[in-house]
Every structure is written in C-alpha cells, then in structure tokens.
C-alpha cells in the first residue's frame, strides 16, 4: 500500500510540473526579452481561492490623493458632456472590456471627466501583486513594487518570487531596482539592476553628463531624452503629457535599448482583489506584447500588467493591495 500511495503522489507532482512548466517560465526583471513586467484583451477572473481570501483594503484617499495636474501645467479643457455624471457598471458588466464578478475590497470610484494627469506622488508606498501564468490563470508567484522618494532622489524596488507548487518545481527570486533623480517631470533613472537568485543578471547606467547609456555586455549608446528602464516606465507613464492619446520613450532593459510606443485603448473598469478601478488601458506592441492598466482615480498607479511573449506565453500581475509604507532605513 505505501508503494501505491507513493506512486500516486509522484504522478500528481509530475502532472502539476507539466501544467506549470510545460513552457520555460521566466519572471525576469522584464518578464521577457523586451517588454515590462514591471499580456490579452479579455480580462480573466482570478482563481477562486485568491478571490475568496480577505483582501487588504486600499489605502484611504488621504494616503493616495486624487490625481491633479502638476504645477505649471493647466488641465486640458473637458467637453461639457464628459463632465456629466455617469453610472458605474454593475459587477460583471463590461465597459469596453469584460470584467470578473469579484467582490470589491473598496467602493467603486466615482467616474471623473476622463484623463486627469498626475498629482503629488506620495513619498513612500507599495503595490502588491499576484502573478498568474497562462490562460487558465495558474497562480505561480507574487510581486511587490515599492517606491521611496526623498527630496530630488527616488528609488523603485521590485521583488518577484515563485510560490506554492511553482516554487517547488522552479524556485526563483528576482530583485529589480531603479534609482535616480525625481522632479515634477517624473523619474530620471541613473542606475538599473536585475538580480536573479542572488546573481546580477542585467544592469544599465544612464549618464546624463556624458549623454550615454551603458548596458550589460552591450556597446555604449547615445542617451535619448526622457529615457526610462523597465521598472521606472510603469510609474513614468503617469507623467507623460496627453497620455490618453498614447506615449513614447526610449527604454533600456539591461540587454536592449529600444523605443517603446504605448497606444491608449481607452477607459475601462477593472476588478482586482485590491478593489474596482476606473483605468486607462495602454498597450505596447513590439517583439512582445505588453498591456498596462493605470488607475485614473489613484495617481495613475499600475494595477494590472499583462505580458504575452513571442511564443504566446502569458503572465499577468494583478494588484492585491496598495498601501503607504514607512520611510526606508537606508539613505539614497
């Protein structure tokens, strides 16, 4: 009997291994060769286990103030009809896209008059994500994005790691960091680094004085104005003027230095374990496909990131919590 039970257990683990890792899994700092972490047009509901778990509520508006245009830039005039109040769709009802009937952790935000721009960014905070793989939404990991801003300096840090059976079959921990200058125009990277399982895997250095960007094992290239790295771009999008019409800037991945063009696909309501958000849906099509949903009423923070690589493998990061965080123990 013990031999039969052992064989059944081995077969079960083997089946899970095939389902999880039938295709090579890489939660790399860029979630692929080119595109950000830091993807399909139809949203898929989170697994029942995650949806049933108690979600940590979103920070109150006092911690995450509503977006407003930065000083020195007037808000674009809004059409009269856009200012009229709209009725938020019921849970499960599509507004431009299908949404999942997940119980929101917070009340649905009141619809606003369209894109509003960025306001005062809180000095410290974090977003926690659940990481899913494939169309069947296998929960394979978790990720945390954290920001710390002090005077004119910033540091963005991301930790992504496999959990559960995924960690059993392929343990992985990826630490990504971006640091540099910060002002009313947003984030200006100086150093970017990706560490996989304790070893430096990618690095990019932005030298404004010399006008160059140096990447891992790559030739130095001329630095283009407004350049970003694969972590900072998720937050710099909020500072791009006319974001509701799209955005473009150069992005260094540590292996490549390419122009990223984001097309705006319009507003849509998005259900997440962190709550229900009115979002601006952006898409970048290049070697891979990357989609980002920015919360319009919460400082344009990324609340979902979906990446589809050239082989068709899909990875999705969906917010499960957004919180202010205490000041960092280390200095910049």
What's the per-residue H, E or C state across 151-202? CCEEEEEEEEEECHHHHHHCCCEEEEEEEEEEECCEEEEEEEEEEECCEEEE
Rama region for 12: left / alpha / beta (φ>0; ψ in -120 to 50; rest)? alpha
- Quote the pLDDT of residue 137: 81
- Quote the pLDDT of residue 119: 54
Three-state SS letters, 43-58: CCCCCHHHHHCCCCCC
- Quote the pLDDT of residue 40: 38
Closest CA to 38 of 286, 220, 291: 291
Give domain limits for the chain: 39-73+88-323
Helix (H) / strand (E) containing 5 = helix 2-21
Beta-carbon contacts of residue 139 (< 8 Å; ≥ 6 apart): 47, 49, 50, 130, 131, 132, 163, 164, 166
Rama region for 299: left / alpha / beta (φ>0; ψ in -120 to 50; rest)? left
Q: What is the pTM of this model?
A: 0.66
Cross-strand bridge partners of residue 133: 138, 315
- Quote the pLDDT of residue 325: 61
- Distances in Å between the Cα of 158 and the Cα atoms of 73, 140, 167 are 31, 17, 18
- Distances in Å between the Cα of 44 and the Cα atoms of 97, 120, 160, 255, 318 are 11, 32, 21, 31, 11
- Quote the pLDDT of residue 309: 86
- Quote the pLDDT of residue 328: 57
Give pLDDT < 50 ranges for the chain.
Answer: 1, 3-118, 330-332
- Quote the pLDDT of residue 294: 96
- Quote the pLDDT of residue 255: 84
Beta-carbon contacts of residue 142 (< 8 Å; ≥ 6 apart): 128, 129, 130, 131, 160, 161, 163
Question: Alpha-carbon distance 114 to 67, whole Å?
Answer: 12
Beta-carbon contacts of residue 158 (< 8 Å; ≥ 6 apart): 29, 37, 38, 143, 144, 145, 146, 174, 175, 176, 177, 231
- Quote the pLDDT of residue 278: 96
CA angle 310, 141, 107 (to 5 degrees): 100
Query: How crowded is residue 92: how many other Cβ atoms within 10 Å of its Cβ?
Result: 12
Sign of CA dihedral 101, 106, 107, 113: negative
């Amino acid at each position: 009997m013990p031999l039969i039970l052992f064989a059944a257990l081995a077969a079960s683990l083997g089946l899970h291994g095939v389902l999880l890792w039938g295709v090579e899994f890489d939660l790399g700092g860029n979630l692929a060769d080119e595109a950000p972490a830091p993807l399909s047009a139809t949203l898929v509901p989170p697994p029942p286990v995650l949806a049933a778990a108690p979600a940590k509520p979103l920070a109150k508006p006092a911690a995450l103030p509503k977006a407003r245009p930065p000083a020195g830039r007037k808000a674009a005039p809004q059409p009269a009809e856009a200012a009229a109040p709209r009725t938020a769709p019921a849970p499960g009802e599509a507004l431009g896209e299908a949404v999942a009937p997940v119980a929101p952790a917070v009340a649905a935000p009141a619809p606003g008059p369209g894109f509003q721009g960025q306001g005062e960014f809180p000095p410290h905070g974090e977003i926690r994500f659940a990481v899913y793989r494939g169309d069947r939404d296998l929960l394979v990991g978790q990720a945390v994005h954290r920001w710390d801003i002090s005077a004119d300096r910033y540091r963005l840090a991301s930790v992504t790691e496999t959990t559960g059976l995924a960690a059993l079959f392929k343990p992985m921990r990826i630490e990504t960091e971006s640091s540099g200058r910060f002002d009313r125009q947003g984030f200006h990277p100086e150093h970017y680094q990706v560490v996989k399982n304790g070893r430096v895997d990618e690095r990019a250095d932005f030298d404004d004085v010399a006008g160059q960007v140096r990447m891992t094992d790559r030739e130095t290239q001329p630095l283009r104005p407004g350049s970003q790295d694969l972590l900072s771009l998720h937050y710099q999008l909020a500072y791009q003027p006319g974001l509701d019409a799209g955005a473009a800037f150069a992005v260094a991945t540590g292996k490549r230095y390419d122009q990223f063009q984001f097309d705006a696909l319009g507003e849509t309501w998005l259900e997440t374990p962190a709550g229900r958000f009115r979002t601006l849906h952006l898409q970048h099509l290049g070697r891979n496909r990357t989609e980002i949903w920015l919360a319009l009423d919460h400082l344009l923070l990324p609340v979902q990131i979906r990446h589809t690589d050239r082989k068709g493998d899909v990875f999705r990061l969906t917010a499960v919590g957004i919180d202010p965080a205490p000041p960092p123990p280390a200095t910049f």
